[in-house]
Structure 1
Amino acid sequence: MKLRYVMGAATLALGLMACSHKEEAASESKPAAASAPIQAQPDAGKLESVDSAATGIGASPAEAVEEALKLAIKQVNGASFDLASEQVKATLSVAAGKDAGQLSAHAFAEYVAQESGGVVTGFKLVKMEEPGLLSKSYKASIEAKIAKFVQPASAGKLKIVVGPVYIDRESFKLAGIAVPAEQVAREIHQQTLDALANTGRFSVLDRELGDDVQQELDMISSGQTPSAERSKISQALSADLIWTGHLTAFDYDKKQARWNLSQRVIHVANRQVQLSNMLSGDAGKQGDGSADAIRRGMEGQIVDRIVGAILVRTFPVTVASRTGNNVILSQGGQSVREGARYKLVSLGQEVKDPQTGQSLGRAEFDCCEVVVDKVMPTMSQGHLENVKMPLEQIPPGGLQLRELAPPAAAAKAESSAPAASGKKAAGKKHKPAAGMFDADKDKW
């Protein structure tokens, strides 16, 4: 009987061991959770701790430490940081009534971090100098870690504010229906803001939700949020450029759409007008001919032209890379249109006004045309046609996009017109002389 029990126990033990081995093997065969793709978080800025060393002078050790803390916070967050808030005042007064020995203790460093609510995340009293023959004040040298708000990467881009679209009338007539002009202006404004943001070239600043933004900042300043959040105050960005437009025509009659818009781009710092021109279009029939379809089509065409004009002036589209006649353009999105044909120029030497010394830009040489085959969010693909100069001598970035070129059929008709004057003129083709661009090679 005992032998039977021993055999049963041994069998059970072997079974349990086998199960444990299977479980271990199964756990080893499971893919690691870390292998799952990690989604990038939107960059909205972040709070981080910055090392700061400072020296303060006071009538007592506590006052010297308080002054050093003030200086450490200002060094990291600037003079605009709110030191008058109750929470920050409490942080700065943590040293009150303590002697040099207490201020040097590790417990005091922990107390500072606790009482500051995140403003000061680390503290160390490096040195305390007592009053001497010449100086009647205490001198405290400290090292601290101070909370700082770091702007998102997009803050380094060119900052632009989309101003209002002005109108002179109450309504526009589309297919016999009166459409409120204010609605059209508002939609063009919003679409322009969206399109500029989607180019990835600008930080587009909002000026319409000021009350809502101020409400959030008031929550921080009133102490309803952690004290470290105070470093977000006084971080508002000012614009580099302001765009504004004036819509003077927006009509559709007899299956033909017509619009006119004047626009300006103003440099905020010096009030100079960087761009001022009149845009106009003849949109033809739009959609199903209804007032809504016409309005949407015309608004889309206007926004495309606005964004294109701004980009050409501020961030000209360039040929980023080339393989034979296939090219990659440096911008996509709203910058170019798929299937469109554009002129390309090669850049030469910079030209300056001999009287004022102001740069007039760089010399331009007609190079070729590019037909856009595919538009992506950040770049575009295309191919070159009608090449007029050796491409091998032009470095990457040396070709810039200009205005729309005439369609291939129209260009061919124009070029064939002089041929009617005689076969001799038509048969003679212009070939660039060998090395004719060598003199300007170092300028491109």
Structure 2
Amino acid sequence: MRQLMTGPSHSLLVVCMTLFLAACGQDVPAPDASAPTPVADVQPAVEPPMRGAPDFGAVERLSREAEGVGSTPELATLAALQSVVAQVNGVQVASRLDSLRAGLDVSVDGRHAGTIDAQAFQQHVMSASQGLVLGYEVLSQDEIDKVDEETVSRVRASDEGYSYAASASADGRASASARAGNARADTSMRYSEDASLDVKRGASSYDSDVTQRRMRSYWKVRLRADIAQFRAPEEGGRPKIVVAQPRVMASSYAVGDSRVASEEVARAIRGRLSDTLAQTKRFIVLDREFGDEMQAEIDHINSGDVRQIDTARLGQQLATDLILIPTIERFEYPRATRQLRMSDRQVTSYSGGGRITLRLLNAATGEVVMSDSFDHALASTGPSTLPRVVDGKGMAATMMDALSGRIGTAVVTGIFPVSVVALDGDQVVLSQGGDMLQTGQRYEAVALGDELRDPQTGRSLGRMERSCCVIRIDRVSSQTSYGTIEGEVPAMGRFKPGAIELRQAIAGVPASAAANADRASGSGGGAKEAGASTPARLRAAAAAPAAPAPAEDPDW
């Protein structure tokens, strides 16, 4: 079967046949409806993925053009490269080429580089730039003559003229006689002379202009260069924070029947706080603990064993916005011993807890952004003469977890209150996930109103809050949480993300747990009556304080 011709060639052929037949006076045949109509290829739109890849930054290759001026082609090239680097990475990074300008030898392997596009000179520049310059192409180069120095000597002289007159006179007399035998001759002469001189000259002037010029040539180079630039990961408005090593008040702490080194406690609390803040995804937590390992990687990049483009990763460490400084003021669970008077037995008991204060500082200004203290009391044991073993490290871990969790929650909610970002009926999506929220927790929620300002200072006092509902957490993901509004959904008109924020947690058993208990109690009369008190017992048990650890010694 013949292959049908489609596309632009088919259309052109039809037009040519139509014109030919029309010129010959023949009827143009109607196009065959059954013939296939050319259809342009339509590429389906590529939809973005539902979830993008994680962004950890990358080194990119950017191309820029610039001009440079110098006394030699080489120096003009370096000036243009420095301008390109400043466009891409900033003036501070471009200043690294100053040492290249000062120490670059334009002779390569004992021979002059010649022209600026010489391969040897280009490789020398790329190597000396420490990975900033990946390559360049000279677009134009011109030698331009200019006046370097111009000296003009100008002489002006004049006088008013002069006159000179002189005269002289002289008178004289002379006589002579001569005798020869009887002959004799005598003669005499008298003379008189007069002379005079009279010279006159009028005014005169003298002008002279002498110009001397010294010419100098310079080079102008225009080039296109490929520059390596590190693209930092998107910060997304998240502040950068550093957790400092907690300050301690003692070298060790008595916990149970043993002592725990204060450095171990401080290191553990610092790690827990860093983990808590990182899991919230609300902060960029910067590490200041593993500096040796990071420096080893920097030294590896500087060694030259990595790709040249990867050297753009140098000098990219972030500076912090906030510094969290904890201070461990109390951390103990010691054993107290007392001797009985009527016997040789001893009575022991344990009590204690922890207290940590924190300061959250603005790293640039030193301003105290937040200051608070957190206490955690461990259940005391009653006096007893019975032997007992207290797991000191276990108690310390429990106390560290509790204090770190409370501090992390206070820092996050103080700067980023948990808010409702989506509302669908009674279903809500919250702006926080991770370990900050737990499934089954219930929170009082407020609706935000107009902004309030201090009448004396004009400083913002926040927004007016109106208690609106109770939100129960149903599911928690890494960055968001999903919940349900218990009871009536507040009427808010058109919902705006962030218009509802969570406040304090509500103690007690969630309503859903009570409902489940009611359904589990059965439907019979007597069973229903007996089960009616189950939710009340659950609520009472949840609201009641925790019982003390061991019972007291009955012999005490």
TM norm structure 2: 0.58
* Structure 1 CA distance for aligned equivalents of residues 107 and 54 of structure 2: 38
Describe how 1:21-420 pairs up with structure 2 within 5 A.
43-81=55-93, 82-83=96-97, 97=112, 102-103=115-116, 119-133=132-146, 136-154=217-235, 157-221=238-302, 223=304, 225-252=306-333, 258-282=353-377, 284=379, 290-385=391-486, 389-392=490-493, 394-407=495-508
Cα distance change of structure 1 residues 111 and 274 upon mapping to structure 2, 3 Å threshold:
closer
| Per-residue Cα deviation, 1:85-110 (whole angstroms, up to 9, x for no partner) | 7899769988x9456xx446899879
Cα distance change of structure 1 residues 126 and 152 upon mapping to structure 2, 3 Å threshold:
same
Q: Give 1:80's aligned amino acid.
A: Q
Deviation of 1:212 after TM superposition, in Å, equals 3.2
Question: 2:442 touches 2:510 (CA, 8 Å); kept in 1?
Answer: no
Alignment-derived partner of residue 528 in structure 2: none
Question: 1:117 touches 1:226 (CA, 8 Å); kept in 2?
Answer: no
Question: 1:158 touches 1:203 (CA, 8 Å); kept in 2?
Answer: yes
| Per-residue Cα deviation, 1:269-298 (whole angstroms, up to 9, x for no partner) | 221111111122345599x96323322222
Q: Give 1:259's aligned amino acid.
A: G
* Structure 2 CA distance for aligned equivalents of residues 103 and 339 of structure 1: 72
Q: Give 2:503's aligned amino acid.
A: R
More helix by share: 1
Cα distance change of structure 1 residues 221 and 327 upon mapping to structure 2, 3 Å threshold:
same
Cα distance change of structure 1 residues 404 and 289 upon mapping to structure 2, 3 Å threshold:
farther
Structural RMSD (CA): 3.7
Deviation of 1:310 after TM superposition, in Å, equals 1.0
* Structure 2 CA distance for aligned equivalents of residues 93 and 285 of structure 1: 82
Cα distance change of structure 1 residues 381 and 263 upon mapping to structure 2, 3 Å threshold:
same
More strand by share: 2
| Per-residue Cα deviation, 1:296-323 (whole angstroms, up to 9, x for no partner) | 2222111211111111122211112222
Deviation of 1:394 after TM superposition, in Å, equals 4.2
Cα distance change of structure 1 residues 230 and 88 upon mapping to structure 2, 3 Å threshold:
farther
Cα distance change of structure 1 residues 117 and 239 upon mapping to structure 2, 3 Å threshold:
closer
Q: Give 1:268's aligned amino acid.
A: A
Q: Give 1:163's aligned amino acid.
A: A
* Structure 1 CA distance for aligned equivalents of residues 102 and 283 of structure 2: 36
Q: Give 1:131's aligned amino acid.
A: I
SS, match of residue 301 in structure 1: helix
Alignment-derived partner of residue 33 in structure 1: none
Q: Give 2:454's aligned amino acid.
A: D
Cα distance change of structure 1 residues 188 and 328 upon mapping to structure 2, 3 Å threshold:
same
Runs of 5+ in structure 1 lacking a partner? Answer: 1-36, 411-444
Question: 2:249 touches 2:329 (CA, 8 Å); kept in 1?
Answer: yes
Cα distance change of structure 1 residues 318 and 41 upon mapping to structure 2, 3 Å threshold:
closer
* Structure 2 CA distance for aligned equivalents of residues 175 and 115 of structure 1: 62
Cα distance change of structure 1 residues 93 and 227 upon mapping to structure 2, 3 Å threshold:
farther
Cα distance change of structure 1 residues 339 and 232 upon mapping to structure 2, 3 Å threshold:
same
* Structure 1 CA distance for aligned equivalents of residues 328 and 143 of structure 2: 72
Question: 2:106 touches 2:121 (CA, 8 Å); kept in 1?
Answer: no
Deviation of 1:379 after TM superposition, in Å, equals 1.3
Range 232-241 or range 390-399, more displaced = 390-399
SS, match of residue 239 in structure 1: coil
Q: Give 1:143's aligned amino acid.
A: R
Deviation of 1:346 after TM superposition, in Å, equals 1.2
Cα distance change of structure 1 residues 86 and 122 upon mapping to structure 2, 3 Å threshold:
closer
| Per-residue Cα deviation, 1:402-430 (whole angstroms, up to 9, x for no partner) | 222343699xxxxxxxxxxxxxxxxxxxx
Cα distance change of structure 1 residues 50 and 218 upon mapping to structure 2, 3 Å threshold:
same
Cα distance change of structure 1 residues 86 and 225 upon mapping to structure 2, 3 Å threshold:
farther
TM norm structure 1: 0.72
* Structure 1 CA distance for aligned equivalents of residues 101 and 140 of structure 2: 26
Identity of aligned residues (%): 33
Q: Give 1:157's aligned amino acid.
A: R
Question: 2:419 touches 2:501 (CA, 8 Å); kept in 1?
Answer: yes
Alignment-derived partner of residue 10 in structure 1: none
Question: 1:70 touches 1:92 (CA, 8 Å); kept in 2?
Answer: no
* Structure 1 CA distance for aligned equivalents of residues 144 and 430 of structure 2: 68
Range 41-50 or range 307-316, more displaced = 41-50
Tell me how many residue pairs correspond in the alignment: 369
